[in-house]
Structure 1
Amino acid sequence: MIMEQQHLKKEIGLFAALATVMGTVIGGGVFFKVATVVQATQSASLTLLVWLLGGLLTLAAGLTVTELAAAIPKTGGAVKYIEYTYGKLPAFLLGWAQMIVYFPANIAALSIIFGTQWVALLHWSNSAIVPVAIVAGASITGLNFLGAKVGARVQSLGLIFKLIPIALIMVVGLFAPAHVTFAWTALISPQQTSFWSAFSAGLVATMFAYDGWLGVGAIAGEMKNPKRDLPLAIGGGLLAITIIYVLINLVFVRTLPIADLAGNLNAAADASMKIFCDLGGKLVTVGILISVYGAINGYTMTGMRVPFAMAEEDALPFSHLFKRLSPHTSVPYFAGSVQFLIALIMMLLGSFDLLTDMLVFVMWGFSVALFVAVFILRRREPDMDRPYRVPGYPIVPAIAMIGGVFILVVTAITQPLLAVIGIVLTAIGVPVYLWNERRK
């Protein structure tokens, strides 16, 4: 059998795609990022504001890029949109950045979070964190090797079970008597000297919690009806996530004082202990485990299909290996194996947060290019088949573009070394691309 002539099976429906959006985005960030956001804002009302604006910005970005996803429903997602608009080199650099660092770094970081919470729940030694993380990442990769349908089912089940503890915290916490009162109009606290510095740092901090939606377009080629379902999955999923994030953070600021939230990675567990007593901490830990496991699955499922799509066009060194599919499940097993190997190295080295933050910066650079691509294609190809058009054009794409530029500028000013390293790692893809072109 010539495996290179196989095709990915169209097995993913609307609910599985919606679960992929929500399951990939809702990971550890909903529990851990409250500490970073409150550390920056030092204000309950400003904290809620940046979570709301972060969600609306992400929603504008998702609605904008969905126009490209519906018009160009190809496996590979954003890589294909960039290639269609700008050419092969920019598309290769996006795929390179996703393949080498972005997806593996997220898988590694989330696996370590899983290991950390597992050890805390069972009171194991901290030396078990990395082995548990490796088992978590390896098990998810193995499940995805069983087929796209299995990976999608894991995502759907993970979404259902992860939303249960989140829903309990929101519903019980919102109706329970408030332990802390705050003024909705008090956006700035005495601890903050500048509203804009607090606002910008808080808004940028939320972006990791909202990250993950861009890669969902990578499964378009395996969706039963991508032109109809992909816009619904991305738009509906991101709107629901925004509501969830704002409400759960409202519970946190009603339950614990700002001083107890700022910089406290156990803030979610501490808040739940007040709401549910002793059972609360364990409940949240189990919820985090399920949530993070589902997020790892989302990054694994979408990530392995990026190098596969690039290899189909012989855009990678050793493309003949990356585009190999399992003869029984039609899964790009070699691409998935390489992805896990890179993630494994990152787990052992330990620079997860730095790599993730760096690639969030790089990904938003490409995201801005995607927002601009909507304007370019509207002018260049007015008769292009667009089953979905971004609502509120050109205002919504402009909001996404301005917000993306804001994130890039703030990151470059506050973390210049991180931004430079991210750009350099991405730029390494240029000689790789040129070498591969000469080889061909």
Structure 2
Amino acid sequence: MQKKEYSLFTAITMIIGTVIGSGIFFKSDNILIYTNGSIKNGIILFSLAAIGIIFGSLAIGVLASKTTKAGGLITYADEFSSKKTACAFGWFQVFIYYPAVIVVVSWVVGVYISMLFGINATYELTGLIGLVAAIIYFGINALSANLGGYFQNCATIIKMIPLIIIATAGFIFGDPHMAMPITEKLATSSSVNWLAALGPIAFSYDGWVVSTSIAHEIKNSKRNLPIALIVGPIFVLAAYIFYFAGISFLIGPANIIELGDQHVNVAAIKLFGEMGAKVILIFVIISVLGTLNGFILGFIRLPYSLALRGMFPMEEKLKKVNEKTQLPEYSALIAFLITCVWEYINYIVQKHNLIPNSDVSEIPVVASYVLYIILYVCVIKLYLKGEVEGKIRGIIIPILAIFGSLLIVIGGLQNPMTILYFGICLIVIFISLLFWKRKNN
């Protein structure tokens, strides 16, 4: 049996640290493109998306309070829906969701490190730096569960520094009139419905479920995990609105759209000059690395969780846990190899701009909300069976979570690549069900 390694503070910092630190820094321009530079519409969409996150967290918290088994969302699907659902959910997360998000976050590490050293950020160099960053954090988490957890705590505290400084400066030195609707359509604005901004916003929020992957390693998880799933997302919503408005006031929506990922560095230079901006950029890099660490920390345990249920090939090897590091090493190796394949896929997509104003991660994030709805329905079923107390926990919360998820899915469907990408997700799920059927026969 694995030891209880993580405290309530680590569970909360994993949510905050995984969510905050990448998306908000490099998705603000994507959001403003979809909203035609409207800060007000951006804030409205952040709030609408938060319905899915906050109430989704509360609904998942209900399931989390009823089990302590390894696997997080896979466990909840297994125990409260069906083994087929759990297998499909697990394969989607292992082969699409986690690696897609990890490679995009690692790519952003490459972008910001190139900015820090003034290097020409070619696609090849950016991809190489991102791959090296991923290798380092797979290594850190392979050495020790505590080591990865400690970095997550420190990174969460550090990453709040640039966010708070830039947001506060925006409110003090920026122009609040920027929040007024823009009457003329921006030249770079997309003609796609502004609800499409829910795609990059969903990515910005993503990571709140990662802590469920270490639920079995959280001390007193029946009490602490639901608390973390409530506190974390509410804090994130407040921080995001504060930052999004602040950075927009400081340098203007049109400039953010034009600058793209460079806008954070430009804002820092405006406030502190070249040298001061380097310090802020270092904090931003640590922030993004915290997100990368959080996702890797969760991902390396997923093949192990599936193997425990007989839902993955080579299950006997994958179930082995190193007694010293408390880590399933073969599971971590499988996760690493899949990530390497996705690093190449992401490089091709980025180089040839195959998904305009988006990347390989946004659609899997949106697709995951379709699967979350299955779990929210499970909460309602448990209430009807008398296993969940109170209409608020058993009916109202999961219904609001379903509503919030549907909003995010509708927003994601505005992306013309969504249908194709959903098809790829369905193929992976279909293969998982074939594997499950064959194994049980």
TM over 0.5: yes
Whole-Å separation in 2 of the counterparts to 1:429 and 1:383: 30
Match of residue 218 from structure 1: 213
Farther-moved stretch of structure 1 (82-91 vs 241-250): 82-91
Q: Does 1:425 align with 2:389?
A: no
Alignment of structure 1 residues 247-258 onto 2, 5 Å: 247-258=242-253
Match of residue 52 from structure 1: 47
Q: Which runs of 5+ in 2 are unaligned?
A: 351-357
Letter of the 1:427 partner, please give it: F
Letter of the 2:329 partner, please give it: Y
Match of residue 140 from structure 1: 137
Farther-moved stretch of structure 1 (51-60 vs 75-84): 51-60
Q: Which runs of 5+ in 1 are unaligned?
A: 1-6
Q: Does 1:123 align with 2:118?
A: yes
Deviations 1:44-67 (A, max 9, x none): 211122123222431111111111
Identify which of 90, 93, 98 aligns with 1:103. Answer: 98
Identify which of 49, 63, 67 aligns with 2:62. Answer: 67
Match of residue 4 from structure 1: none
Alignment of structure 1 residues 271-420 onto 2, 5 Å: 271-279=267-275, 281-349=277-345, 350=347, 351=349, 354-380=359-385, 382-383=386-387, 394-412=395-413, 414-415=415-416, 416-420=419-423
Distance 1:168 1:257, change over 3 A: closer
Letter of the 2:126 partner, please give it: I
Farther-moved stretch of structure 1 (267-276 vs 229-238): 267-276
Letter of the 1:162 partner, please give it: K
Contact 2:363 2:412 (C-alpha < 8 Å) held by counterparts? no
Contact 2:49 2:408 (C-alpha < 8 Å) held by counterparts? no
Whole-Å separation in 2 of the counterparts to 1:390 and 1:117: 47
Match of residue 158 from structure 2: 161
Deviation at 1:93, TM superposition (A): 0.6
Q: What RMSD in Å do the two structures reach over aligned CA positions? A: 2.4
Whole-Å separation in 1 of the counterparts to 2:391 and 2:70: 21
Contact 2:13 2:156 (C-alpha < 8 Å) held by counterparts? yes
Number of aligned pairs? 424
User: Percent sequence identity over matched residues?
Assistant: 25
Farther-moved stretch of structure 1 (291-300 vs 346-355): 346-355
Contact 1:24 1:294 (C-alpha < 8 Å) held by counterparts? yes
Deviations 1:173-232 (A, max 9, x none): 32x222452355x4x74429xxx9644122333100001112211111001111111111
| TM-score normalised over the length of structure 1 | 0.89
Whole-Å separation in 1 of the counterparts to 2:138 and 2:391: 34
Farther-moved stretch of structure 1 (343-352 vs 357-366): 343-352
Q: Does 1:36 align with 2:30?
A: yes
Alignment of structure 1 residues 156-235 onto 2, 5 Å: 156-174=153-171, 176-179=172-175, 181-182=177-178, 186=181, 189-191=183-185, 198-235=193-230
Contact 2:16 2:233 (C-alpha < 8 Å) held by counterparts? yes
Deviations 1:125-169 (A, max 9, x none): 534323322221111111111222111111111111111222222
Whole-Å separation in 1 of the counterparts to 2:203 and 2:222: 28
Contact 1:317 1:436 (C-alpha < 8 Å) held by counterparts? no
Contact 1:362 1:423 (C-alpha < 8 Å) held by counterparts? no
Deviations 1:72-118 (A, max 9, x none): 23220111111122211111010001111211222212112112211
Q: Does 1:83 align with 2:88?
A: no
